[in-house]
Structure 1
Amino acid sequence: MITLIEKVTLLQQILIARATHKHAENDIDEFLKLRSELISQQSLKKIIPSILKTSRTLDQFWEQIKQKFEHYSERRNYIYSEFHPLLEYLENDTNAPSDQIVTNVIGRLDSGYIHIAWQKALERRTVDPEGAITIARTLLESTCKHILDEASVEYGNAPDLNHLYRLTAKQLNLSPSQHTQPIFKQILGGCTSVIEGLGALRNKISDAHGQGKLNVKPSSRHAELAVNLAGTMAVFLFSTWELRNEPDVES
C-alpha cells in the first residue's frame, strides 16, 4: 500500500515533470486523484503547498508556473521549496512510545468515534494546536460517556467534562473522597485537576469558542501536553473499567 509521503512525493514529481515539459499522459488523472486525497486531509491543511490549493488541474498549474518562472531550474526549486514543509513533517516521526500505548488500549474498544478522536488528536498536535486541544477534550468526554453508558449511568443531555468525570470517577471508585490513604487522595485529586485544567485550557485557547481582540494562540507544545494528558487519562479510565469488569479467577 502506497504511503502518504510516497503520494506527496509523486505529486511533487508530477508537477516538476509538467513544469519542465516531461509529463506523461496519465499524469492528468493521477494529479487529480492525489490532489483530491491530500486536500481532504484537514490535519495537514496549514502545510499543504499553496500551488496545490490554487491549481485544481495540471493546466491551471502550468499557466501559473510558466508566468512565474522562465527557467526550468527556477521552477524546480520553487516546487521543492513549496513541498519542503509538508515532506519534512511527514518524514519526522512525531509519535512517542506513549502514543502507541494509548492507541493499543483504545483499539480494544468498540467505539469508532473514540478511535477517530484519538487519531485526530495525534495528527493535529503539530499542525493545528487549537484543533488538537479541542479534540483532546472531546476524547475525554467520549471516554467518560462510553464507560457511563456501559455502566448504565445516566449523565443528562448536555453535561460538561467535569460533571462527566465526577460521575465516571465515582463509578470506578476513583474519587478522592472514596479513599482514606493520603497518597491515594493526593494522586486522584491530581487526576481531577488534570481534567479541570484540560477543560479550562480548551475554553481559553482552543478553536472551540470565539476569541476577543487579545486572544491567546496555543503552540504545538501546549497541544502536545493536552493530547498526552488526555490520552494518559483515557488509558487510566479504560484500564480501570476493564479491571473492574474482569471475571473473578478461581484459584
Structure 2
Amino acid sequence: MSDLSHLQSELERAQFLQDTFIAFATNDNIGGDQQDYEELRRHFLANPKTKSLVPDWLRARRNANEFWHFVKYEFDTYSERREFIWNQMAPLLEYCESLTQAPADSHIETELARFNVDEITHIWQKALERKTRDPEGAITIAGTMLESVCKHILNKRKIEYSSNKIELPELYKLTAKNLNLATDQHTEPIYKQILGGCSSIINGLGALRNKLGDAHGHGEIRAARPAARHAALAINLAGTMALYLLETYHQQEKK
C-alpha cells in the first residue's frame, strides 16, 4: 500500500492527486506513482461528497496506465493536458480548500474592501481563486497586488517612479519612505526591528515570485514547485502588508 502519511489534510491529498495526474500526463517529476494514484482514487471515491466532485474519468480509470491512455489521445500538448487537469480538479480542490479556509483570508478581504480600491480587491480575489489549482500563478498575483498597492499610494501622493522598470523591493522602499515607514526614519529599536521585518517580507516575496512564480520563464525543469501552502503563505503575507500600507496611508490622510 502507498504511504501517504505525509499528506495531513484533504486539501493536500487533492493537490497531490492533481500533481500525480500532471506527472503521468506530462512526464513531469512532481506528484506520486501508480500506487499513489490508486490509493487516492479509492480515498476520494469512498466519500460520497468527494465522489461527486472528482472528474468522471477518474471513476472510470482504475489505474494510472488507463489514465495515461485516455489523456494522451485527448490532448496533444503538455500545456493542454495541464489546463484540462486543473479545470477538472477545480471542484474537488475548492471543496477541500473550504474545509481548511484560513480566517485571515476573509478578514483581509473584508478590510481591503473598506478602502474602495476595486483593482486591489479584484487582484486579491484572483489570488485566492488560483491558490490551490495554480500556486505558481497565485504567488505571482500576490506580488502584483503589493505592487498595485504601492503604485496606488504613490499616485495619490503624486510621487514619480518608473512604472515599467521598478521592481517590488524598490517600489516598496519608495512607498515606505513616503509613509514614514523606513527604518532610518525611526530611532526606537523595536520600531526599527518591526519595520526592518516588513522590508524583509517584501524582499522575500519578490524573491519567491522570481523563484517559484510564473512571472518569468524558466530555462529548465525545476525540482521544486510551489504547493498550495506556499501560495497561501505568499498571499497572506502580501495581504497583511497591503492592509498595513493602506491603513497607514489613510490614517495620515485624515490628519
TM-score (norm 2): 0.63
Of 138, 150, 154, the match for 2:156: 150
Letter in 2 for 1:240: T
Confirm whether residue 239 of structure 1 aligns to residue 244 of structure 2. Answer: no
Letter in 2 for 1:184: Y
Q: Aligned equivalents of 1:46 and 1:177: distance in 2? A: 49
Please tell me whether the aligned partners of residues 142 and 238 of structure 2 are also in contact (alpha carbons under 8 angstroms). yes
Of 151, 160, 177, the match for 1:170: 177
Cα displacement (A) at 1:235: 0.6
Confirm whether residue 183 of structure 1 aligns to residue 190 of structure 2. Answer: yes
Residue 137 (structure 1) aligns with: 143
Cα displacement (A) at 1:115: 1.4
Q: Aligned equivalents of 1:232 and 1:45: distance in 2? A: 33
Letter in 2 for 1:198: L
Letter in 2 for 1:124: R
Please tell me whether the aligned partners of residues 47 and 86 of structure 1 are also in contact (alpha carbons under 8 angstroms). no
Q: Report Cα offsets for 1:16-69 as digits up to 9, x if no partner.
A: 9xxxxxxxxxxxxxxxxxxxxxxxxxxx964433xxxxxxxxxxxxxxxxxxxx
Residue 121 (structure 1) aligns with: 127
User: 1:45-56 maps to which residues of 2 (within 5 A)?
Assistant: 46-49=85-88
Gaps of 5+ in 2: 1-48, 57-82
Confirm whether residue 160 of structure 1 aligns to residue 167 of structure 2. Answer: yes
Distance 1:242 1:194, change over 3 A: same
Residue 18 (structure 2) aligns with: none
Cα displacement (A) at 1:245: 1.3
Cα displacement (A) at 1:122: 0.9
Ranges of 4+ aligned residues in structure 1 off by more than 3 Å: 44-47
Confirm whether residue 107 of structure 1 aligns to residue 100 of structure 2. Answer: no
TM-score (norm 1): 0.64
Two-structure CA RMSD over aligned residues (Å): 2.5
Letter in 1 for 2:189: P
User: Identity, % of aligned pairs?
Assistant: 50
Distance 1:45 1:89, change over 3 A: farther
Cα displacement (A) at 1:157: 2.9
Q: Aligned equivalents of 1:119 and 1:197: distance in 2? A: 22
Cα displacement (A) at 1:96: 1.9
Confirm whether residue 223 of structure 1 aligns to residue 231 of structure 2. Answer: yes
SS in 1 for 2:181: coil
Letter in 1 for 2:190: I
